[in-house]
A and B are shown apart, each in its own frame.
Chain A
């Protein structure tokens, strides 16, 4: 098998003093221009964009056995291949490659290990009832990956080209997409900085790779409503930070608070922010609350606004759009607004909290039973024998119908 960085140390030594280093300093200069648009003097040199026609495919000689559907665990088994594309500041995007799934070989001084030059996406490929393969709103993932990448000084790319490359990759590994409702192929596009240097600077080289893992339903035996711990002792994101981007940097710091919540019997953190204790996100999902207005009795579906601290979830956006299209006519008010935890607790106390759920790619919706807040349990409106509220159930069914192609919809892209 090939390794990604075939430069041996001796070769690197020979090339270091001349081309590599001069290109490095040039690269640094260039990438600032790329990311920060300080000067516009580089028009003369065109960097290569992602080019689907240059794709090369090296098939595996050792195809894996398929895991039975019932044994699928999220992120545990992967398909036969992976998609990789290297980028350098001097040349832009190199030729895309589909190669056998394999380890990356990276120098220990590679900047991704030290300074978190990394971002990713989560998306899925679905098999429809006619055996066709479908992606769900891939353009949203491409837009977001580009935003994330630019924020962390990594390169941007042509999103349509990557979608097509992912299509080629998924077609090649099609046999791994389980042919059953609730099952899909989870896709993980990832961008990492690959420059070898301990100096903190914009990476002069990067790699985009996509791996794929067959997954089953998030709740294999039906919904199981979760308990949350309202978290004010740790923050996930802050104004002027990077919480609205899908950067690796947003994830590791949240694992420890999650462990602490779990040790007290709560599945996830409900991230509160600021003195006002605004409700922001739940674990790694966006949060939705259905509340009846105290004065008017008006039913309102609420989620936090995209103020820079909230991840721009694709499922969040889909839930909002469907709610505006299909719930608003039934009299619902759909709001992207801030809401305080104290107001949520009060609504619960007064019997006005209808339901609460998280929204994300993995589960689509994740119903919430209760929230531990200031020593009391805020009941989120589910009956004792109920594991999901009406809106959550409705949303899951609407979104799945589109994802699996039962309903013709512009969001579902056939490969």
Chain B
């Protein structure tokens, strides 16, 4: 599945055409309605046009503005579109950092080609993102607000003046950045703190992904269709759908996040961190998922960390009945989901066919693994720990 066009210009982030906004917007305050809208973007955006004849044009940084697309644009009809979710972090040392942006670039390239859109050198995406943050970072993530972040959305869409189910002859890569509510900082006083998410296990009449499909790529096509189930779950007071697959009801993903459970193995009694495998191509290869697994293997698999006992990391198919049985037998220690937008969040319970399964530990609390992993990741993101997963952004003065 190589790149579709050859002998045309590659994506090249070494040069830019820059047009400055002369109408800078007020930066919204944390928790403000503007921030909660998930659409109040920063002053600038990056766009790169692609055509089948000339390949990638020179990237542009320009004032945030509407896109003018023909009514035939293939992204409006055939969902030729894919995206990434990533964040830029204002460190406690005053520096700006991206987190593993190479992985987002690689995945965007894979997703783009899976949706018949052009491929590119994955490395260039982080440079495009860094350029946008070099310009908008200083104002939108002020140095006096360390520990804050912006959400970044690189997107590739099929464009073009012709209709027809075919490889788009025009495409647009664009990157926008938006303040994103940090719900962990928004607890009101006196509010009961929830112990975790409530998940609603999907029924067989709604399946997110299928082998030979595209559940493993970040295509728009995976999101809109999932909303119906998600809406039903929310209307019943649940936070997310837990997507099950197959006759054996395999646990795949939770909403748009990856799902983890920590339990004592039914046969050996040994402590394990289990998540669904990538090989079945049913789940998204999350950047946070991968980071959780790598940190757990490196830091949690041999010695105690505080009161946290060492565990073994296992990527394997797991079923809802295994979780149910583990809960009945008191073997569950903790459960959580991971993703860029909502980071790492403990799971309190799962409802499966009217059966409520508690996924908290024995004392009704999460054991603290999720919190520990989250704090390690935050230390890297916000520069408390030097780590090669952090990619520094040099800002304009």
Given A5-B66, A252-B78, decide whether A247 and B225 contact each other with a Cβ distance below 8 A.
Answer: yes
How many residues in A have their beta carbons less than 8 Å from beta carbons of B? Answer: 77
A103, A109, A259: the one contacting B116 at CB < 8 Å is A259
Q: Is there contact, CB below 8 Å, between B36 and A249?
A: no
Contacts of B74 on A, CB cut-off 8 Å? Answer: 252
B54 within 8 A of A: no
Task: Kindly supply a per-residue 1/0 record for chain A positions 208-246, scoring 1 wherever the CB is within 8 Å of any chain B CB and 0 otherwise.
Answer: 010101000000000000000000111100111110000
A76 at the B interface (CB under 8 A): yes
Known A21-B37, A153-B231; judge A256-B223 contact (CB<8 A): no
A160-218 residues with Cβ-Cβ distance < 8 A to B are 186, 188, 190, 192-193, 196-202, 209, 211, 213
Q: Report if B386 contacts A (CB, 8 A).
A: no
A213 → B minimal CB distance (Å) = 6
A284 in contact (CB, < 8 A)? yes
Interface positions of B from 351 to 385, Cβ below 8 Å from A? none
A120 at the binding interface (Cβ < 8 Å)? yes
* Residue in A closest to B223 when the chains form the complex, CB atoms: A115
Q: Which of B109-132 contact A (CB under 8 A)?
A: 113-116
Given contacts A153-B228, A211-B72, A108 and B158 within 8 Å (CB-CB): no
| Known contacts A82-B71, A198-B151: A113-B81 contact under CB 8 Å | yes
Q: Does A16 contact B (CB under 8 A)?
A: yes
Q: Which chain A residues (46-85) contact chain B, with CB distance < 8 Å?
A: 74-76, 78, 82
A32 and B225 contact, CB distance less than 8 A: no
**Interchain nearest-CB distance for A361 vs B (Å):** 12
Asked if A335 CB lies within 8 Å of chain B CBs, one says: no
The closest CB in chain B to the CB of A215 belongs to B163
As a 0/1 sequence over residues 17 to 58 of chain A, the CB contacts with chain B under 8 angstroms (1 = contact) are 100110010000000100110100000000000000000000
B329 close to chain A: CB less than 8 A: no
Establish whether residues A151 and B228, one from each chain, have CB atoms under 8 Å apart when the complex forms.
Answer: yes
Digitize B47-80: 1 where CB-to-A-CB distance is under 8 Å, 0 elsewhere: 0000000000000000011111111111111111
Once the chains are docked, how many angstroms separate the CA of A248 from the CA of B151? 26
Interface residues in A84-105 (C-beta closer than 8 Å to B): 101-105
Given known A21-B37, A114-B220, contact A247–B79 (CB-CB < 8 A): yes
Which of A16, A78, A249 contacts B221 (CB under 8 A)? Answer: A249
Of all chain A residues, which has the CB nearest B85?
A198
* Chain B residue nearest to A7 in the complex (CB): B66
Question: Given A103-B69, A259-B167, are A252 and B219 neighbors across the interface (CB < 8 Å)?
Answer: yes
* Count: A-B pairs, CB below 8 Å: 234
Q: Chain B residues near A383 (CB, 8 Å)? A: none
Given A36-B231, A248-B78, A252-B116, check contact A108 B225 (CB 8 Å): no
Which residues on B sit within 8 Å (CB–CB) of A116?
Answer: 79, 81, 219-221, 223-225
Identify which of residues 205-239 in chain B touch chain A, using a CB-to-CB cut-off of 8 Å.
205-207, 210-214, 219-228, 230-232, 234-235
Q: B174's closest neighbor in chain A, by CB?
A: A108
B254 at the interface (CB under 8 A from A): no
B228 with A255: CB separation less than 8 A:
no
Interface set, chain B 127-165, CB cutoff 8 A to A: 151, 153, 155, 157-158, 162-165
A361 to B120, CA, bound (A): 36
A152 interfacial contact with B, CB 8 Å: yes
Query: Which residues of chain B from 222 to 277 have any CB-CB distance to chain A below 8 Å in the complex?
Result: 222-228, 230-232, 234-235, 256
Pairwise interchain contact B214-A199, C-beta atoms closer than 8 A: no
A126 at the A/B interface (Cβ < 8 Å)? Answer: no
Residues of B close to A348: CB separation below 8 A = none
Question: Could you list 19 examples of A-B contacts with CB < 8 Å?
Answer: A32-B231, A36-B231, A74-B163, A104-B71, A104-B76, A114-B83, A116-B81, A117-B224, A120-B77, A198-B38, A200-B226, A202-B231, A232-B212, A239-B204, A240-B206, A248-B78, A248-B221, A252-B115, A253-B219
Question: What 19 additional pairs, Cβ within 8 angstroms, besides A3-B66, A115-B227, A249-B225?
Answer: A9-B64, A20-B37, A76-B162, A103-B68, A105-B66, A108-B41, A109-B176, A112-B75, A114-B223, A151-B228, A153-B224, A202-B227, A235-B211, A239-B207, A252-B81, A254-B165, A255-B78, A255-B115, A256-B114
Q: Which 10 residue pairs of A and B lie closest in terms of their CB atoms, listed nearest first?
A: A75-B163, A240-B207, A248-B79, A251-B78, A116-B220, A249-B221, A255-B116, A115-B223, A238-B210, A116-B79
- Tell me the B residues contacting A by CB distance below 8 Å: 1, 4, 23, 25-26, 32-34, 36-41, 45, 64-81, 83, 113-116, 151, 153, 155, 157-158, 162-167, 174, 176, 178, 204-207, 210-214, 219-228, 230-232, 234-235, 256
